[in-house]
Amino acid sequence: MHRSDRLSLIVSLLLGIGLMGYVVWTQRPMPPEPAVTASAARPAPPPASDVPPAPEAPPLDETRAAELRAAAEAMPGDVQARVDVGNLYFDSHLFEEAIPWFEEALILDPTLIDVSTDLGVAFFYIDDTPRALAQFASSLETDPTHAKTILNIGFVRAFGAQDLEGAFEAWEEVQRVAPGSAEALAAADAVARLSAAH
């Protein structure tokens, strides 16, 4: 691998992480405060100066995490308790810790599309692109037009699978199914940035 190829790969990964981080963290609905008892030619990546800074994760509130885990363990059938624990870890960028809680919630209620999509994002961030894409496919079985899922498919295809053609297709689909939405705007921005780099 030539030095310029490595540099291009690094810049592409930074762009992917920045764009995906921006979308995930800015478009996520704020969870309620839970009760403790309840193969085309690829364009060159854009310059590093175009990469938006990745949002910083808030530190994990260990006390809150212990309370939520205890509540979830005391109520084995409580879906929301598992979602709350998963969200706390996810929001602190502790993706490996979030994954089992999201998986447990989905066993109890497989129709939780936002949880399913967040699980796919968590898989991406632990560098498991195949599981991320499989989880997004599962999300789309629940709602084939879920814009957040389709948007994230684009990011994972672009920056995890290195499939820019597939990424562009996903982002165009977001704009078709949810025109004017925050996800459509983020998709248009991703298309514009990567196209400009070509």
pLDDT at 147: 98
pLDDT in tens, 69-80: 999 999 999 999
Count of the separate structural domains present in the chain: 1
pLDDT at 74: 97
For residue 26, being part of any structural domain is answered with yes
For residues 84 and 68, give the distance between their C-alpha atoms in angstroms, rounded to a whole number.
Answer: 7
For residue 159, being part of any structural domain is answered with yes
CATH number at residue 188: 1.25.40.10
pLDDT at 57: 84
pLDDT at 109: 98
For residue 108, being part of any structural domain is answered with yes
For residue 37, being part of any structural domain is answered with no
For residue 188, being part of any structural domain is answered with yes
For residue 136, being part of any structural domain is answered with yes
Domain span at residue 135 reads: 3-32+43-48+56-196
pLDDT at 38: 34
pLDDT at 17: 53
For residues 29 and 32, give the distance between their C-alpha atoms in angstroms, rounded to a whole number.
Answer: 9
pLDDT in tens, 22-47: 554 444 444 443 333 333 344 444 44
For residues 123 and 65, give the distance between their C-alpha atoms in angstroms, rounded to a whole number.
Answer: 21
SS3 of the chain: CCHHHHHHHHHHHHHHHHHHHHHHHHHCCCCCCCCCCCCCCCCCCCCHHHCCCCCCCCCCCHHHHHHHHHHHHHCCCCHHHHHHHHHHHHHCCCHHHHHHHHHHHHHHCCCCHHHHHHHHHHHHHCCCHHHHHHHHHHHHHHCCCCHHHHHHHHHHHHHCCCCHHHHHHHHHHHHHHCCCCHHHHHHHHHHHHHHHCC
pTM as predicted: 0.75
Residues lower than pLDDT 70 in the chain: 1-55, 198
